[in-house]
Amino acid sequence: MRVLEPWVTDPLVEFVRESSARVALVMTSSGQVIAQHGFTRSLDVMAAAALGAGILATTSELARLMEHGGDFGAVVHQGDREGVWLGGFDTPRGRWIALAVFGRESSIGLVRLFFDRFAAQVSAAAPPPVAVREVLAEGFERELDQSLRALFGGT
């Protein structure tokens, strides 16, 4: 298990144990990884984080367009051998997302129960956000243009 924020460790360990999650990922709504369990390659973690954040952003926008009154809460798939839970939750540090892959030994109902408990524990344990003033580097735009030209072949 790898954790960026130490106060997430205990709730994540408990969630993985209770839900029998084979893989778990906690990220911000923009896809920044906070913690992970069960992944063996960093590329897989990055891909899952980007896709998970994109999927929840898309379903939230669909809910808005359909005038659903919020978001759909979670995206769930129960396959023959494994299920996937992808759900968002609010913390004092903003909206976060958890992804869990679980096997036949668990069920969507149990994962939801343990996910709700996990979300509440993380929210309760989160220290207040640190105010950060974002400042762009002086040559940011020029460096970005140079990088894009180098990547995509421009003048």
pLDDT in tens, 56-96: 988 888 888 888 776 677 888 888 899 999 999 999 989 99
Q: Which CATH number fits domain 2-152: 3.30.450.30, 3.40.50.2300, 1.10.357.10, 3.20.20.140?
A: 3.30.450.30
Q: What is the pLDDT of residues 40-59, one digit of tens each?
A: 988 899 999 999 999 998 88
E-assigned strand segments in 80-154: 82-91, 94-103
| Beta-carbon count within 10 A of 11 CB | 21
% of the chain exceeding 90 in pLDDT: 52
Mean pLDDT of 120-143: 77
**Tell me, what's the pLDDT at 76?**
87
Cα distances (angstroms) measured from residue 34 to each of 27, 89, 93: 5, 14, 12
Residue 6: pLDDT above 80?
yes
**Tell me, what's the pLDDT at 36?**
94
Mean pLDDT of 30-36: 92
| Contacts of 95 by beta carbon, 8 Å cutoff, 6+ apart | 28, 29, 88, 89
Q: What is the dihedral of CA 41, 125, 95, 117, to 10 degrees?
A: 80
Q: Higher-confidence residue: 104 or 68?
A: 104
**Tell me, what's the pLDDT at 135?**
62
**Tell me, what's the pLDDT at 151?**
62
The predicted model scores a pTM of 0.78
The pair of three-digit structure tokens given for residue 79, joined into one six-digit string: 């396959």
